């Protein structure tokens, strides 16, 4: 009678084992990077859908704690326009009917979906025009 096949050790070498570990590590890294890049792109698309940038406004300040503004993490982008506050309010009301006004906070509107929380705050400037602050938190907690 011959020996059972499962009792024979395979021809595994340390080199083959290292190759397998390296291949698995590279596969995990590729999957992780793909996931992060995809979620970041979905965050940007979601925030831009919920809180579009007012036409003709100019970006004056940007802050984010991860890769880019409006992407994964927490971010705030500030825009300025020469248009009066009432015109900007009307534009956002026309383009964001699904938002709900937070009680007691004039000019703060919140949009939520399963991926991102988006907010915008409108402030009338003393020198004329309107400041628009768009804040978002996406895939952060």
Quote the CA–CA distance of 100 and 92 in Å, as a whole number.
Answer: 12
Q: What is the predicted pLDDT for the residue at 102? A: 47
Closest CA to 113 of 45, 32, 41: 45
Local confidence pLDDT in tens for the 141 residues of the chain: 556 655 555 567 888 889 999 999 999 999 999 999 999 998 888 888 878 889 999 999 999 898 888 888 899 999 999 999 999 999 988 876 455 444 444 455 555 556 778 888 999 999 999 999 998 888 877
**Torsion angles phi and psi, residue 110, rounded to 5:** -120, 135
Is residue 7, in this structure, part of any structural domain at all?
no
DSSP state of 102: P
SS3 content of the chain, % helix, strand, coil (to 5): 35, 30, 35
Is residue 3, in this structure, part of any structural domain at all?
no
Is residue 6, in this structure, part of any structural domain at all?
no
68 near 44, Cβ under 8 Å?
yes
Is residue 56, in this structure, part of any structural domain at all?
yes
Is residue 5, in this structure, part of any structural domain at all?
no
Q: What is the predicted pLDDT for the residue at 95? A: 77
134 near 74, Cβ under 8 Å?
no
Q: What is the predicted pLDDT for the residue at 103? A: 43
Total structural domains within the chain: 1
CATH number at residue 134: 3.30.310
115 near 49, Cβ under 8 Å?
no
Is residue 134, in this structure, part of any structural domain at all?
yes
Is residue 53, in this structure, part of any structural domain at all?
yes
Is residue 19, in this structure, part of any structural domain at all?
yes
**Torsion angles phi and psi, residue 39, rounded to 5:** -65, -40
Helix (H) or strand (E) holding 123, with range, is strand 116-124
Range of the domain at 131: 14-138
Quote the CA–CA distance of 47 and 30 in Å, as a whole number.
Answer: 26
Closest CA to 81 of 128, 47, 119: 128
């Amino acid at each position: 009678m011959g020996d059972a096949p499962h009792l024979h050790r395979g021809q595994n070498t340390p080199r083959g084992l290292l190759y397998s570990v390296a291949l698995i590590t590279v596969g995990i890294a590729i999957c992780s990077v793909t996931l992060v890049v995809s979620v970041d792109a979905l965050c940007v698309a979601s925030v831009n859908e919920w809180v579009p940038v007012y036409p003709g406004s100019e970006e004056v300040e940007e802050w984010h704690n991860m890769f880019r503004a409006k992407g994964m993490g927490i971010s705030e982008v500030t825009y300025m326009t020469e248009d009066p506050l009432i015109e900007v309010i009307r534009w956002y009301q026309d383009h964001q009917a699904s938002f709900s006004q937070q009680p007691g906070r004039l000019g703060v509107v919140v949009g939520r979906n399963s991926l991102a929380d988006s907010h915008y705050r409108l402030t009338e400037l003393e020198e004329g025009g309107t400041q628009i602050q768009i804040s978002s938190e996406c895939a952060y907690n």
